[in-house]
Amino acid sequence: MLYKQCSLYVRGIFLGILSKLRLESWIAIMITLMACFTRLSMAAGQVFYVIAILLSIFYIWKHRHDLYIPSYVKKYSKTFALMLLLLLPSAVLTNNIAVGLPEFINVWLWRIPVFFVIALCIRDKKTLFTMLAVFFVDFGIDNLVAFYQHVSGMTDRGWGFGSSVLTISGLMVMLVPIFCVILLDSAFPNYVKVSALWALGCVGFGMYGNQSRGSWLFSMIMVPIVSLPYILKRFIYVVVVLAALGGVVWGFSTQPQYVARFESITNTTTDGSNLGRFDVWTSSINMFKDHPVTGVGIGQWRTIYEASYRLPTENQHLYHAHNNFIQLLGEVGLLGLLGVLIFYGSIIVDNFVVWFKKRDPYSLCAMIAVICYVFVFGQVEYTLDNSSGMRIMYFMLATMLQLRDN
């Protein structure tokens, strides 16, 4: 009897708390859980994603007469629609529309709703900051898992929660400069700074375990660039950034295997990873030469590559071109590439203009997310096809823009 009364009491408290949560809070919880789980379990991530989308549809219907649509949503919706229009011929004018159209929906339509969910439904600044803090803590754990996988002998290169060593590498390249901005700018509350510092420290271990040359090299380039506007203001920042970079470089330089791996970046004669990329780039460019306008078709690249374009020296049977833009040239041609450049280019230009005028950190972080994930790490990996990575990029982009506009 007592147990039953206690159970009812606890249940009443729990339901009372849940009933007080606003619809906006529920959407924020679901979309944050999506960002945290999308690498750990794609199925769980999809469930949270679908729930967030359904809740946001209800939210938009509920506020249909007074829904606030940010100006940046109106701008980017136009360039996004133009991108889809220019990509669509590569989905329907192919030898296999049954593959092209579903892949068009999966790659170019299904991953961006996270952006609109946040942009249209979540405006409370404290909620947005909390979303960032929770995700940063999760990403730190992700990196510690990658470190453990390596040092325990489970694998030569740790991948963290996901299944690909390059997925977590791309996220490192995108997020490390953002962590630096958060730590250096006073606009972010202390608990977000603490979570960013935690994640940044864990990324050091993650890079050690992951051994991605791209994450090492690009982070060493991007961190000083994004930190420059801050460190020039205070000498102590210069000392801290230089000391941190020096410590990382020294730590890696004491390990011969990491020195050898870093030096292999310029090895174009015997390094299999480099040679494989050169071969697959050549093949994708050959595809483009034969199909310059719309490419071989969305979702057709791997099949046609294996059937007609793979070079005899490429024995890894790579399933994409390991470069966003060379991949797009072969798969969607000049028309599709133009659409992608217009969409992501408009985001970068718009945020650069705002940042240049106001020097706000949110525009800077939004710009960093797109530049680092699509254009920087996209030089060595086909990041546009990575479902979890693209959702996290849109998560970061929309959250930063909402913080700027609210």
- Indicate the range of 119-128, 151-160, 298-307 predicted with least confidence: 151-160
How many other C-beta atoms can be found within 10 angstroms of the C-beta atom of residue 238? Answer: 15
Q: What is the DSSP string of 35-98?
A: HHHTTT-HHHHHHHHHHHHHHHHHHHHHTTTT----HHHHHHHHHHHHHHHHHHHHHHSSS-HH
Angle at 254 between CA 251 and CA 260, to 5 degrees: 105
- Sign of the torsion formed by the C-alpha atoms of 121, 27, 402 and 161: negative
Instruction: For residue 341, name the pLDDT band (cuts at 50, 70, 90).
Output: very high
What does the pLDDT read at residue 254? Answer: 59
The per-residue pLDDT for 163 is 77
What separation in angstroms does the CA of 2 have from each of 115, 201, 226? 48, 48, 60
pLDDT tens digit sequence for 125-142:
999 999 999 999 999 999
* Burial class of residue 23, CB neighbours in 10 A (0-12, 13-18, 19+): middle
Predicted pLDDT of residue 350: 97
What pLDDT, in 10s, does the model give residues 35-85? Answer: 999 999 989 999 999 999 999 999 999 999 999 999 999 999 999 999 999
- Mean pLDDT confidence for 279-286: 93
**In contact, 23 and 55? CB cutoff 8 Å:** yes
Cα separation of the two ends of the chain: 51
Using one digit for the tens of pLDDT, what is the confidence trace for 94-118? 888 999 999 999 999 999 999 999 9
Which residue has better confidence, 308 or 21?
A: 308
Whether residue 359 contacts residue 353, with contact meaning beta carbons closer than 8 Å, is answered with no
pLDDT of residue 17: 43
Question: According to the model, what pLDDT value does residue 244 have?
Answer: 61
